[in-house]
Amino acid sequence: MGGVSSMGKSSENMDKVYEYAREVYASYGVDTEGVLEKMKNIQVSLHCWQGDDVTGFEKGVEGLSGGGIMATGNYPGRARNGDELRQDIEKALSFIPGKHRVSLHAIYAETGNKYADRDEIDASHFKSWIDWAKDKNLGLDFNPTFFSHEKADSGFTLSSKAEETRSFWIRHGKRCREIAAEMGKQLGTPCVNNLWIPDGMKDIPADRLSYRLILKDSLDEIYAKKYDKSHVLDSVESKLFGIGSESYVVGSHEFYMGYALSRDEMDVMLCFDTGHFHPTEGIADKISSVLAFQDRLLLHISRGVRWDSDHVVILGDDVLSIAQEVKRANAFERVHFALDFFDASINRITAWVVGTRSVLKAILFAMLEPTELLKEEENKGNFGNRLALMEEFKTLPFPAVWDKYCSMSNVIPGKGWLDEVRKYEEEVLSKRG
C-alpha cells in the first residue's frame, strides 16, 4: 500500500496495523475493504460560513449576523471575499478524506459593484461558485438568508404580520429555490436548499397560533412551484430558541414536522440541527421516526455547549449515536449530512477540518459496526449479549481503518495536517488586514 502516513511518507507499520484490523473485523463478519469502498460515496456538506463568521459579501452589513445567531471571537484571517473563502475551503478540503459538498447562503452572492437585494439575486450572482464547484468536482447546497437584513429587524420574516415584509421574504424564498435548482442542474447533483427563519419572540407571546398560520401560508407560496428533484431538494429547519427569541420560535420542531408530513405533493424534507433542541435532548432517536414517514432527512451537525452555541463538532457520543442510527437503519442514501458551526476564536481552517473529520470518523466507525450480530441478539431476546457486544465493539481497532481511509484518499491521517495549516496561516491568513 502506498499513500500518506502521519509523517507524510508511506509507512510499513501502518500497513501491518491495518492488516491486523482487517482480520479482527473480518472475524465479526465485517469486510473493511467493502466499507472503505462505501466511504467513497459518503458526502458531508461543508458550510461556507465557518470561513467568514457568517458575514457574507453584501455591502453595508459587516459582521453582525442577527436573527439569534452569533459567531464569537476575533481570530485573524477571516475570508473577506469569494476568492479568499474558496481558497480557504480548498485548503480545508485538502485535509479531509473523500469527495464532499459545499453549502452556501444567499449572502454569499457576488453581485459585483452593484448591490442586489435579497429579492433580486439570481443564479448569475453565484456563477463564480458554480464554476469553481464544477472545476473542483464538488456538489453545492444552498440556504436562503432570512437574517442580517433590515427587513428582518422586527424579528419576523415569513411569519410577519406586515404584508410588505412577508412578501419580500417570500420572493427571497422563491428566488433561492430557483438558484438552488440551477446549481443542481449545472453540477449534476441535487442541491439541498435548506430554509431556516429566525422568527420568534423574546417574551411570552399573546398569540402563538397566528404567526404559525402565516408561516404556513408563506411556505405554501414558496414551495408551490415544482422543480425537478434531481436539481433541488427542499428542506425546513426547526429551532427551539435563539438569542432574543427565548420564549417563542415560530418555526418549531412540531410546526415543521406537521408541515412536512402534511405537504406530500411538495416533498419537503425536515432538517434537524443538533443544537436546536433542549440541551440534553439528542436527535439520534428522531431519525428513524422521520424515516418511517419521509424519504429523506437533512442533518445540521453542530455542537451546543449549554445552549445552541454552534461550537466545532467533535467525536462525541451524540455524533456517534447519529451515525449508528443511520447505519442501523441502512439509510446513508437517505440522510444528508451537513455541518453548521461557526467559531471565530480559532483558526477557521482548523475548525472546518476538525468538525468534518470528526463527522467522517463517526460515520466510518458506524459503518464498521457488526450490526447484524447486535440485531441477532436482539431478535433472540438476549439483551445482555446485545449490551455486551455493543461494549466490545467500542474497542475494535477502528483507528487503523481511519488511517487507511485517509491515506487512500491522499490525506494526512494523523496530526500532520496541523503543520500545513500553520504554514497557510503564516503565508496567507496572517497577511489579511
Residues engaged in binding ligand RNT (CB under 6 A):
49, 54, 69, 105, 143, 196, 237, 239, 273, 300, 340
- Would residue 285 show up in a list of annotated catalytic residues for this protein? no
Catalytic residue among 52, 234, 273, 369: 273
Q: List residues bridging with 105 in a β-sheet.
A: 143
Minimum CB distance to Zn ion, residue 194 (Å): 8
- Would residue 307 show up in a list of annotated catalytic residues for this protein? no
Cell match 447486535: residue? Answer: 374
Alpha helices in 188-248 (DSSP H): 208-222
Q: List residues bridging with 47 in a β-sheet.
A: 103
- Would residue 308 show up in a list of annotated catalytic residues for this protein? yes
Instruction: Output DSSP code: residue 325.
Output: H
Task: Using the minimum distance from each CB to ligand RNT, give the nearer residue, 68 or 97.
Answer: 68
Provide the grid cell at 9.
511518507
- Would residue 310 show up in a list of annotated catalytic residues for this protein? yes
Catalytic residue among 52, 234, 308, 425: 308
- Would residue 129 show up in a list of annotated catalytic residues for this protein? no
Task: Using the minimum distance from each CB to Zn ion, give the nearer residue, 340 or 343.
Answer: 340
Residues 6+ apart with CB under 8 A from 394: none
Minimum CB distance to ligand RNT, residue 221 (Å): 21
Amino acid code (one letter) for 400: A
- Compute the chain's Rg from CA coordinates: 22
Cα distance between residue 189 and residue 183, in whole Å? 8
The one among 234, 273, 325, 369 contacting Zn ion by CB under 5 A:
273
Residues 6+ apart with CB under 8 A from 281: none
Footprint on residues 335-354 left by Zn ion (CB under 5 A): 340
Cα distance between residue 157 and residue 209, in whole Å? 16
Q: Does the footprint of Zn ion cover residue 308 (CB under 5 A)?
A: no
Task: Using the minimum distance from each CB to ligand RNT, give the nearer residue, 23 or 281.
Answer: 281
- Count other C-beta atoms under 10 Å from residue 385's C-beta: 15
Catalytic residue among 47, 125, 231, 276: 276
Candidate ranges 19-27, 34-42, 299-307, 313-321; the one touching Zn ion (CB under 5 A):
299-307
Catalytic residue among 141, 199, 340, 403: 340
Cα distance between residue 168 and residue 209, in whole Å? 22
Interface residues with Zn ion (CB under 5 A) are 273, 300, 340
Active site residues: 196, 237, 239, 273, 276, 300, 308, 310, 340
